[in-house]
Amino acid sequence: MTRTIWRLFPRGVPRYLDFACGTGRITSIVGPLAQESYGLDISETMILRARQKCPSTTFIVADATRERLEIAPVDLVTAFRFFGNAQQELRREALAAIWTLLRPGGYLIMNNHKNAGSVRCTLRRLRGETLTQTLDYKGTVEILKDAGFKVIRSYGVGFWLFRAAWVRGGFLDSRLGDVLDSVSLVKGIARFCPDIVFLAQKP
């Protein structure tokens, strides 16, 4: 993700917002690349933890779908681990809010970490399981386009089935782990990965 951001903003991001920032995991990665960095979440508890992690970022406790924020326009918005959890109407409201906050030509980097079209979800459905995942690759592209965004590119994460089982063992940091994860970047495979990252632009 940072490589993508450097390509988009070789001199650094002028104004950056982490939407639904939680405890600041993504903020701590992208914030140092920005001249002005903001984090937004509705949870004051989460924001308190994020402030400790990212002291140079300005954090806001607010609901951007219901309140007007005085930070627009921003050049880059990230939104991770939000759209996979949200209901469809909230997804649309969130994208409308992000659209309003972005300047024309600005970028959104977001993910769907609960891809309903992943290999794993498909196998679970074939076993007769009822899944909570409702958003797949096509659905994500559709809501982005409906909100007025142009989808620039997407890439998958974790195509191989047992990725999650190795997280705690440090396997993901190994050379073999890197090789297996690189499979997710093969063109056309993103729609089958459990996690998909999208780069979109406000025209």
Question: What is the DSSP annotation of the chain?
Answer: -HHHHHHH-TT-EEEEEEET-TTTTTHHHHGGGEEEEEEEES-HHHHHHHHHH-TTSEEEE--TTTS--TT--EEEEEE-SSTTTS-HHHHHHHHHHHHHHEEEEEEEEEEETTBTTSHHHHHHHHTT---S--B-HHHHHHHHHHTTPEEEEEEEE--STTGGGGGGGTGGGSHHHHHHHHGGGSTT-GGGSSEEEEEEE--
Mean pLDDT per block of 10 residues along the chain (203 residues) reads 95 98 98 98 98 98 95 98 95 98 98 90 87 91 98 85 51 62 72 93 98
Q: What is the pLDDT of residue 169?
A: 52
Structure tokens given for 153: 């590119």
Angle between helices 137-146 and 88-101 (to 10 degrees): 50
Counting the structural domains of the chain, the total is 1
Predicted local confidence at residue 122, as pLDDT: 83
State the CB neighbour count (10 A cutoff) for residue 180.
18
pTM over 0.85: yes
CATH number at residue 111: 3.40.50.150
* pLDDT for residue 130: 85
What is the pLDDT at residue 124? 84
Query: What residues make up the domain containing 41?
Result: 2-201
CA-CA distance, 89 to 48, in Å (whole number)?
28
